[in-house]
Structure 1
Amino acid sequence: MAAPRHGAFHPLTVAAVDRLTDDSVALTLRIPEELREDYRHAAGQHLALRRRSAEVGEVRRTYSICSPAPAPGGPGPQQLRVGVRLVEGGEFSTFAHKEIAPGDVLDVMVPAGRFVLDPAAAPQGAHYAAVVGGSGITPLLSIAATLLAARTDARFCLIRSDRTAASTMFLEEVADLKDRYPDRFQLVTVLSREEQEAGLPSGRLDEERLTALLPALLPVESVAGWFLCGPFGLVQGAERALRGLGVLRNRIHEEIFHVDDAPAPAPVTRTVSSSHSRVTARLDGRSGTWPVQDGESLLDAVLRNRADAPYACKGGVCGTCRAFLVRGEIHMDRNFALESDETEAGFVLACQSHPVTEEVEIDFDR
């Protein structure tokens, strides 16, 4: 069977809308039989949801799949579930909370993302851990549930930070994992704005606190993989704490949900006039060459000619527009999606890339 096309959207019916907290819902999407292989996903991947309206035009947002991944060789998923937290002024999240109802049809991109864990590749007796904040729980719910079900020798430690108990997403689902795997699933909860009757004192999980906390919870050096997900500040603080504790960078995997507190993009030190630049792009087996207009990213230049080019956030966060740089030089404004081994191998985010040389070639099919 042919692989799903990059950036392909399909209409999916909403099977259920579940209220998780006052400001978050879970959407369950029904997958028709003929599309189940297209929506086969790895634990930790995300979906891009699209809304088109006369008032706002086209809006795309990415949401992590919280359902366990289907077993290799088994049937594709009949349903997928994503969590949506309300963002102040957020066009799609407001739409999801106020308007989406069971029976509605949404445009949904096929699964994407590399913030994943493959249980089959886990070492014997592997111990994994995650530090998550807020809605960062969503991909880890899928990762932990998939790993623990597939590998009876594996263990998982989830350290989660939320503002209050009432704002905590997927409380029941996480509690179910604890009940189902009491000896292999360790849960540590920290509330930043509310005291708990038992457990850790309230406060933010910053670098200093994590540096003291993590060695007291588990053998940091023997953890096979660390998964960090949530706001920029929490993820960066957790990474610094782990590196300070001697964890190798290739054992740390990151996905950032909010970048409001991220530093400004690095200044461009070398450029070429966009009016003299051209981009050649390969996508789903077809190539084309087009001019790059002033101020355009490579993605925008491709989109003017190939409306099916893959993207979701256009903010350097989701990684949907990942492409391989075949030739030429580019400048990336920001990157919160690609890990260091990917950039070293030549991958770029097309939405953040601008030409430095007159000829640039990228490949979305790699």
Structure 2
Amino acid sequence: MARFHPLPVAAVDRLTDDSVALTFTVPPELREEFRHAPGQHLALRRRTDGTEIRRTYSICSPAPAPDGDGPSALRVGVRLVEGGAFSTYALKEVNIGDEIEVMTPAGRFTLDPAPGLFAAVVGGSGITPVLSIVSTLLAREPRARFCLIRGDRTAASTMFLEEVADLKDRYPERLQLVTVLSREEQQAGLPSGRLDRERLAELLPALLPVDQVAGWFLCGPFGLVEGAEKALRGLGVEKSRIHQEIFHVDSAVPAEAASAPADSTVTARLDGRGGTWPVRDGESLLDTVLRNRPDAPYACKGGVCGTCRAFLVSGEVRMDRNFALEAEETEAGYVLACQSHAVTEKVELDFDR
């Protein structure tokens, strides 16, 4: 069961003009709860002026070994979003020693270290979870190789530039690094420009044997991830080998929003306890549960982070959108509660599975 704990800020490192890395100290009694897989994320919570703000940020530090102790520290990268309440706070107000409420790790954009060739296409802050994936993989599995293709606006706006360079120096034969800048020419390397579908379809086969890559990891803005997936599918890559995480999508409300059936109810099991409650017209199942169980897990409420993932035990729901669950998860019966609306009079969800 995901839950929040107050963690002290141990370091605030400026990465670029508009991004920082926050490091949290994890006390010994919480290290098992904060044990994470490479690529997972944390939801951070702040209460101000009677309003609760939650935002999700990926862990960039390597994952602890399965047979070792849990992490003593966790590091996340935060990029400033125009008008973003939490990112503005992180860049301008957070100091060493401050406490921030941090949810235990979640997310399935992960890689268990294994031999073979892996690759990623990332844009901007999409490097954050992939940095954890690459550093963990290369440190634990000497028979693994990784090709990292990253797109950024300029060198000055590139997050974790030194950390990636250090990895390249440490594993020169096993880490292939390709950087493309969209607004700045490089003295060496590829010409500037965006990493769109057409360019990736030409670039990827020239860089590596596409059909031999065991897993592709796509992370960044929606347009980049969508274009990269289409390029890979066009090159014959099976969908099961493509893993995606999107950091932001348009939050527009879907054009068609059907009403729930009259007198519909949702039954939810959460942290070992269940309850049944009436669904108000137009509200998501997550909002119904939150009215009665404020401890229900969520972060973005936008169908992106996957924190509110639940198993559909019975009934039928309509999801407005889904940018977090893999196809095999939805086929197995999992839904995003924040995007789900009742189609049948009775719906049952299990957040504990």
- The 1-side partners of 2:255 and 2:67 are apart by 45
Q: Please state how far the C-alpha of 1:263 moved relative to its aligned partner.
A: 8.6
1:49 is aligned to 44
Which of 132, 154, 165 in structure 2 is aligned with 1:164? 154
Q: Please state how far the C-alpha of 1:266 moved relative to its aligned partner.
A: 6.7
Which of 84, 99, 105 in structure 2 is aligned with 1:105? 99
Which of 330, 337, 340 in structure 1 is aligned with 2:324? 337
Residues 1:31 and 2:26 aligned together:
yes
1:297 is aligned to 284
2:140 is aligned to 150
Which of 284, 292, 315 in structure 2 is aligned with 1:328? 315
- Structure 1 letter corresponding to 2:289: V
The SS at the match of 1:161 is: strand
- The 1-side partners of 2:139 and 2:331 are apart by 34
Q: CA RMSD in A?
A: 1.2
2:57 is aligned to 63
Which whole-Å deviations, capped at 9, do the CAs of 1:111-157 have from their partners, x for residues lacking one?
A: 000000011xx2x4x10000000000000000000000000000000
After TM superposition, the structure 1 = structure 2 runs for residues 187-336 of structure 1, keeping only pairs within 5 Å, are: 187-260=177-250, 265=254, 267-268=256-257, 271-273=259-261, 275-336=262-323
- Structure 1 letter corresponding to 2:286: L
Equivalenced residues, count: 353
User: Are 2:259 and 2:281, in contact at CA under 8 Å, matched by a contact in 1?
Assistant: no
Q: Please state how far the C-alpha of 1:264 moved relative to its aligned partner.
A: 6.8
Q: What's the TM-score, normalizing by structure 2?
A: 0.98
- The 2-side partners of 1:248 and 1:146 are apart by 25
User: Are 2:260 and 2:282, in contact at CA under 8 Å, matched by a contact in 1?
Assistant: no
- Structure 2 letter corresponding to 1:322: R
Which whole-Å deviations, capped at 9, do the CAs of 1:249-290 have from their partners, x for residues lacking one?
A: 000000001213x8974735x6533x4110000111111110
- Structure 2 letter corresponding to 1:199: G
User: Are 1:63 and 1:84, in contact at CA under 8 Å, matched by a contact in 2?
Assistant: yes
Residues 1:183 and 2:170 aligned together:
no
1:84 is aligned to 78
- The 1-side partners of 2:254 and 2:194 are apart by 26
Relative distance call for 1:263 and 1:87 in structure 2 (3 A) is closer
Residues 1:11 and 2:16 aligned together:
no
- Structure 2 letter corresponding to 1:224: A
Identity %: 77
The SS at the match of 1:214 is: helix
Relative distance call for 1:297 and 1:272 in structure 2 (3 A) is closer
Q: What 5-or-longer segments of structure 1 have no aligned partner?
A: none
- The 1-side partners of 2:14 and 2:260 are apart by 50
Which whole-Å deviations, capped at 9, do the CAs of 1:72-124 have from their partners, x for residues lacking one?
A: 110110100000000000000000011000000000000000000011xx2x4
Residues 1:141 and 2:131 aligned together:
yes
Q: Please state how far the C-alpha of 1:295 moved relative to its aligned partner.
A: 1.2
User: Are 1:319 and 1:338, in contact at CA under 8 Å, matched by a contact in 2?
Assistant: yes
User: Are 1:129 and 1:223, in contact at CA under 8 Å, matched by a contact in 2?
Assistant: yes
- Structure 2 letter corresponding to 1:282: R
1:355 is aligned to 342
The SS at the match of 2:247 is: strand
- Structure 2 letter corresponding to 1:238: A
- The 1-side partners of 2:215 and 2:195 are apart by 19
- The 2-side partners of 1:88 and 1:271 are apart by 33
Q: What 5-or-longer segments of structure 2 have no aligned partner?
A: none
1:173 is aligned to 163
- The 2-side partners of 1:43 and 1:263 are apart by 31
- Structure 2 letter corresponding to 1:41: H
User: Are 1:43 and 1:139, in contact at CA under 8 Å, matched by a contact in 2?
Assistant: yes
User: Are 1:266 and 1:334, in contact at CA under 8 Å, matched by a contact in 2?
Assistant: no
- Structure 2 letter corresponding to 1:351: C
Q: What's the TM-score, normalizing by structure 1?
A: 0.95
Q: Please state how far the C-alpha of 1:350 moved relative to its aligned partner.
A: 0.1
User: Are 1:316 and 1:352, in contact at CA under 8 Å, matched by a contact in 2?
Assistant: yes
- The 2-side partners of 1:272 and 1:11 are apart by 38
Which of 15, 35, 43 in structure 2 is aligned with 1:40? 35
